[in-house]
Amino acid sequence: MVKTKEELEAKLDSIEGLEYEWLSDGSLRVVSEPVPAVRMIEQQHDHSIYQWAFHNSVIAAFIGWQDSRNDRKKSIRFGNNELMDENVLEAIAKYMDENKVAYQWEKGDFFALNNRLVMHSRNSYTGTRRVYAAMFGDAVGSNPNSPPERSARSISDPTTFGLWRLDDPEETVYNAIKNGYRRLDSACDYGNEEATGRGIRRAIEEGICARDDLFITTKLWNTYHDPQHVPLAMDKSLKDLGLDYVDEYLIHFPLSMEFVPFEDKYPPEWVNLDGNMVIVCNDINKTWQAMEALVHAGKAQNIGLCNFTSQHIRQVLSIAKIRPSTLQIESHPHHSQDKLIRLAHEQGMRVSVFSPMGATSYLSLDMATKDDVLFENEVIAGLAKRHNKSPAQIMLRWAIQRNTLPISKSSSAGRMQENRNLHDFYLSNDDMSKIGTLNKNRRYNDPGDFCEAAFGTFSPIYE
């Protein structure tokens, strides 16, 4: 929503192919119609849509006025002059009517209307008139206390390929890029950044993508939280990945551990050279300030947090000169984390979610049981059948419609494509609510559980 003439012009100028002119009476006339009948709707401010949608102007014309001179059912035609199926158009109009959102108007708001799409009748009109408008803006007024929206939050494709526990990292990364992924989620602790870098270079050298097409995330491990070690860890990841910069650098855990020299053990994992997990005192705010220096040095375009709780986030925000761009957390239907996601969004952060399909990745680690697997859950399976999609697609779509970026992985090219084919269906409010009822606050990746059993050190971070 815009509040000034200048803001309106900036909005219109950003639409490719749109032409307009100001009239002498101060009104604006659009002299082109650049928006096709079907287009991909991505993000509208804080709403994640990511769906191919019928443009509203077609429906507006279909449900317009009808009198002796105009038959609305015959007014909507394809380019070859064939009639569009009125049953399909009625179904779309009905769906729009049932899922409409009312905008809370404020004094001074503009409503830009393309007059070429409005039909007028000189005859009197009686009866109910349904009006639909393609609006860009939030359903409610913005919170004046919220931080400015960061441009980094706006992305064209929310699907992200995760690089944890890959059997053949180089080939898998190459194939992921070949099959359309442009967001890659890495970490030094995954132990495969050199192979990841080779896969990226191969894709770039073959012309599949350019470096600027990719959004690459990696993470600062727990043993490198001391400010003097932060730039060293960044340089090591950049060298292994073969990159001059990363698009995003996250603090992996709010858990500081004893430093392990790079030349002695890398990645250091959870234990030192003596095989012990040693937690040390560290001011995470000092770590964040060292992260900010990486942005100033041009080594990281954005910096953020991973596995942080609400209080950890507030602590960093209390001193941050560069606000966190992202919060990455575990989230799936068994662990929805609604409040934490809301907090992050209200603080202007993207939220990326690992393990969006729940327990599957943790079965082989004995961190989950078969009873935890969501693929055969009757709610998920029922929705998959109704939408003619896989259970994985249902859970990934659920994540997207919650305005989060799901991180998934597969070694299969077919499954990679399937996990990205999420934009031709939409989960209704009822569908979303049904999935929401599956939440039982079941966290699978919890250092407070696995560290003591595996390394002999009790280290809760979420309590």
Is residue 282, in this structure, part of any structural domain at all?
A: yes
Out of 50, 174, 181, 190, the active site residue is 190
Question: What tokens does 196 get?
Answer: 């990841």
What are φ and ψ of residue 235, in 5° steps?
-60, -35
Name the helix (H) or strand (E) containing 417. Answer: helix 413-420
Residue with more model confidence, 46 or 214: 214
The predicted pLDDT at position 120 comes to: 40
Is residue 359, in this structure, part of any structural domain at all?
A: yes
The predicted pLDDT at position 68 comes to: 63
Residue 331 has pLDDT above 80, yes or no: yes
User: Are 364 and 222 found together in one domain?
Assistant: yes
- pLDDT tens figures, 373-424: 999 999 999 999 999 999 999 999 999 999 999 999 999 999 999 999 998 8
The predicted pLDDT at position 23 comes to: 86
User: Are 312 and 416 found together in one domain?
Assistant: yes
What is the rounded distance in angstroms from the CA atom of residue 165 to the CA atom of residue 168?
Answer: 9
User: Are 83 and 224 found together in one domain?
Assistant: no
pLDDT (average), residues 99-106: 58
Is residue 159, in this structure, part of any structural domain at all?
A: yes
User: Are 176 and 32 found together in one domain?
Assistant: no
- pLDDT tens figures, 63-75: 665 666 667 677 6
The predicted pLDDT at position 11 comes to: 82
User: Are 104 and 241 found together in one domain?
Assistant: no
Output the domain CATH number for residue 287.
Answer: 3.20.20.100
pLDDT (average), residues 321-340: 97
User: Are 163 and 101 found together in one domain?
Assistant: no
- pLDDT tens figures, 12-22: 888 766 778 88
Question: What are the beta bridge partners of residue 300?
Answer: 246
User: Are 158 and 109 found together in one domain?
Assistant: no
What is the rounded distance in angstroms from the CA atom of residue 340 to the CA atom of residue 460?
Answer: 18
Selection from 21, 239, 181, 1 nearest residue 106 by Cα = 1
| Total domain count, the chain | 2
The DSSP annotation for 8-44 comes to HHHHHHTSTT--EEE-TTS-EEE------SEEEEEEE
Give the list of residues 6+ apart from residue 403 with CB closer than 8 angstroms, or none: 46, 47, 48, 341, 345, 351
The DSSP annotation for 238-282 comes to HHHHT-S-BSEEEE--S--B----TTT-SS-TTS-TTS---B---
Is residue 402, in this structure, part of any structural domain at all?
A: yes
Planar angle of CA 407, 428, 351, nearest 5 degrees: 30
Is residue 253, in this structure, part of any structural domain at all?
A: yes
User: Are 242 and 367 found together in one domain?
Assistant: yes
Q: Which of 5-19, 335-349, 395-409, 434-448 has the lowest mean pLDDT?
A: 5-19
User: Are 82 and 197 found together in one domain?
Assistant: no
- pLDDT tens figures, 193-215: 999 999 999 999 999 999 999 99
Q: 71 lies in which domain range?
A: 5-117
User: Are 244 and 379 found together in one domain?
Assistant: yes
* End residue of a domain, out of 117, 139, 162: 117
The question of whether 190 is a catalytic residue gets the answer yes
Sequence-ordered alpha helix ranges (H) in 159-243: 169-178, 193-205, 230-241
